Every structure is written in C-alpha cells, then in structure tokens.
Structure 1
Amino acid sequence: MYKKEKAEILKGNIKYLIKSRGETQLSVCNASGLTRTTIYNILEGRVVNVQQSTVRKISDFFGVSYKELESVDFEEKELIESSISLLGNMNPAAVPIIKESLLVQNLEKRIGELSTIFPLTYYFGTACNLVGVLLENEIAGAYESGDLLIVRKGLSNIGREKLIYDKKTKRLFVADEEYSHPDLIFVVGEVIEERFNG
C-alpha cells in the first residue's frame, strides 16, 4: 500500500474514532503522550509518513490494532458489523441436561462427554462449559421440581446467583454470596438462565 494511501486511511480513522468515541484531539494527546501539533499535522494531511511509534500510541489509546488503523476503514467496518445480528448468526451451544439426582457424580466429566450421555437443550448466547440441571426437588422460594437451570460450571463472578450442592442434606440451593466450605458445600456454578416448567 502506498504511503499516501496509508496516511489517508490513518487520517480518516483517527477523525472517525475521535468523533465516534466521544473524544477530542486534546484528550487523545493528553492520554497518548503525543503533541497537539503531531495530531493536527496528521489530521490536516501534512504528514505522509507517520512514525510507527505514533501510530502505536494512537492505536493503544483507542484499543485497536495499529496495522488496521493504517489499512482498514473503521467507519465502514463498524457500519457492516452493526448491521449484522450477532445473536442471529451464532450457533447455539449444545447443553447436556442432567437430572438433579445424577448431577454430583457426573460433574467431573467434560461437557463433550456429558453431551453424548444426556439429552441436550440449546443456549443462545456466548458461553462455554454449560450444563442444564433439571430440578427434581423444589428450591424453596426460587424454583420448583421440573424447572431447568442453565449453569456455567465452576467458580463464577461475585454477586451472581450460584447453584450450590449441600453435602450434608444432599440438596441444591441458590445463593449470591461467596461460600468457602468445601467439606460442607460444592459450588456447581453460576445460574445464567432459568427455564420454568409449564
């Protein structure tokens, strides 16, 4: 690509990113450590060969690839991406459905193996390491027998509702606080979707 063409793409991208991200030339300068003259000269097309260190500082500030900053039209790219429904074009995740009574003895198995043993449901969204837990007992104040919980296995975000197995009562319960009693409880994972029976 010719230097002049690169400089034009760079100039257009910086103008677009400043405008679309709610920034100003001054905020870019202050945060990236560049002088106002440098930014001004690029935006006015006075520089044909912009130093790589300058391009990197600008790309780091906006969180984009420095190579793309000189070669891809960001306005066009984001316009195309915004017109594509990400959820509409995703493949759903296959989620094995495990009955509550079979949950504990099967939790150490990998999702791929569980998917070959148990019936499947599908989760539409970005996720991995999911299991469906089919409740056979009521969880007081929350769920009834027959409800299905889609759970991301393992430890999860603080403050998110977790499905927890009580080793003493051999029953499941939900809580959003942190528990650290591995001898008494076992955290199944984070509840990311609820499907109520009927």
Structure 2
Amino acid sequence: MFKREKTERLKSNIKYLIKSRGETQLSLCNASGLTRTTIYNILEGRVVNVQQSTIRKISYFFGVSYKEIETVDLEERDIIESSVSLQGNMNPAAVPIIKESLLEQNLGKRIGELVATHPLTYFFGTACNLIGVLLENDISGVNESGDLLIVKKGLLNNNKEKLAYDKTTKRLFITIEPCCCSDTVLVIGEIMEERFNG
C-alpha cells in the first residue's frame, strides 16, 4: 500500500472508530496523549506520513493492531462480522443451554428452535451457532458436573479445544487433535468459553 492510501485508510478508520465506539476527538486526545492538532491534521488529510508512534497510540486506544488501522477497512469488517453496529452497541448472543444427557438428540436442531425450547444464557463476543452444554458428568481432570461449556457447533479443523462425545462410553471428552465424526465419535464443536459451577 502506498503512503497516501495508508493515510486515507487510517483517516477513515479513525473517523469510524470514534463514531462507532461513542468517543470524541477530545476523549481520544486525552486518553492517548496526542494533541488535538495532531488528530485534526490526520482527519483533515493534512498529513501524508503519520508517525508510527502516533498510529500505535491511536490503535492502542481503540484496541486494534496498528497494522489493521492502516490497511483494513474496519467498518466493512465489523459489518461482515456483525460484531459492532453502526451506532456502536453490541448485543449479547442468546445461547440455548442443553443438558449433557439431551445433547445427542438435540444436535441436529437449529439454534432458533433450541432457543425457543431451552433455558438461555448469553455470550458476549463474535460468534454464531453457539450452544451451552451443561455437564452432568465430570470430564476427567478438566471439568466437573454443573460446569457450562459454550460451544460453537460444527467441525473445525484447528488446534483449539473441541468438545466431542464418545458413543461407546457415552461420555464427553475434550481434545485439541483435529478430528471428525465417526461411528464412535461425535464432534460437538469448538469450546469458546468455560463457566465453572460455584
């Protein structure tokens, strides 16, 4: 990316971040230690080469990486991820809670159906296709009965923790190995959050 393009992207991202996060130029200046003139000059396009230290202070204030703030269209990304509305509010996702013993029979159902028929909890973050699995048995050395696991349903080929069900032993287990459904194993999905009982 050329300097002017980076500066234009930086300018539009700062404007978007100020608006979407409910900030002002003044609150940005006060928190980042930058002068109003510096911010004003960037937003008015009077600076072609913004110092890296300035970009770092701005990106740190908004919680984005300094590479992103210069190269990624953050508004477009947020709309795609639906994590931040244009007004800057993020609603938690409703997550149906399914008891471990009812899990196998409910896995094929859509989230909309499960939300209407099961108790709910809420997940603050960007994700879809979430269920809460209420453990009724301990998972050896990891979780206890009564713990709630927030799981993103589906097969994911990554090295994050996944919840799976052993059809032979009829017990849940956690693995980081890439795995797929088989005659003996049913992959529930990626564990997004653990909530411990008591």
Work out whether the TM-score is over 0.5: yes
User: Cα distance 1:97–1:74, how it changes in 2: closer, same or farther (>3 A)?
Assistant: closer
Post-superposition offset of 1:157: 4.2
Equivalent runs, 1:82-101 vs 2, <5 Å: 86=84, 89-101=89-101
> For the residues of structure 2 that align with 1:119 and 1:98, how far apart are their CA atoms?
8
What is the aligned residue count?
136
Is the partner of 1:98 in helix, strand or coil? Answer: strand
Post-superposition offset of 1:14: 3.0
User: Cα distance 1:81–1:186, how it changes in 2: closer, same or farther (>3 A)?
Assistant: same
Report if aligned partners of 2:99, 2:135 keep a CA contact under 8 Å in 1.
yes
Post-superposition offset of 1:111: 0.4
Structure 1: runs of 5 or more not aligned: 1-11, 21-71
Report if aligned partners of 2:164, 2:185 keep a CA contact under 8 Å in 1.
yes
TM-score (norm 2): 0.61
Is the partner of 1:193 in helix, strand or coil? Answer: strand
- Residue identity in the other structure for 1:109: K
1:76 aligns with 2:31: no
Report if aligned partners of 1:130, 1:151 keep a CA contact under 8 Å in 2.
yes
Post-superposition offset of 1:17: 4.2
Which residue is equivalent to 2:165? 165
Post-superposition offset of 1:78: 4.2
Report if aligned partners of 1:97, 1:132 keep a CA contact under 8 Å in 2.
yes
Equivalent runs, 1:54-133 vs 2, <5 Å: 73=12, 75-81=14-20, 86=84, 89-133=89-133
Percent of counterpart pairs with the same letter?
59
CA RMSD of aligned residues (A): 2.8
> For the residues of structure 1 that align with 2:108 and 2:116, how far apart are their CA atoms?
15
Is the partner of 2:101 in helix, strand or coil? Answer: helix
- Residue identity in the other structure for 2:16: K
Report if aligned partners of 2:155, 2:180 keep a CA contact under 8 Å in 1.
no
> For the residues of structure 2 that align with 1:13 and 1:176, how far apart are their CA atoms?
44
User: Cα distance 1:140–1:110, how it changes in 2: closer, same or farther (>3 A)?
Assistant: same
CA deviations over 1:25-55 (Å, ceiling 9, x no partner):
xxxxxxxxxxxxxxxxxxxxxxxxxxxxxxx
User: Cα distance 1:143–1:15, how it changes in 2: closer, same or farther (>3 A)?
Assistant: closer
- Residue identity in the other structure for 1:77: Y
Which residue is equivalent to 1:179? 179
> For the residues of structure 2 that align with 1:120 and 1:173, how far apart are their CA atoms?
23
> For the residues of structure 1 that align with 2:101 and 2:197, how far apart are their CA atoms?
18
Report if aligned partners of 1:16, 1:74 keep a CA contact under 8 Å in 2.
no
Q: What stretches of structure 1 move > 2 A for 4+ residues in a row?
A: 12-15, 72-88
User: Cα distance 1:189–1:115, how it changes in 2: closer, same or farther (>3 A)?
Assistant: same
> For the residues of structure 1 that align with 2:110 and 2:161, how far apart are their CA atoms?
23
CA deviations over 1:111-159 (Å, ceiling 9, x no partner):
0001111100000011100000000000001100000000000012410
> For the residues of structure 1 that align with 2:109 and 2:146, how far apart are their CA atoms?
23
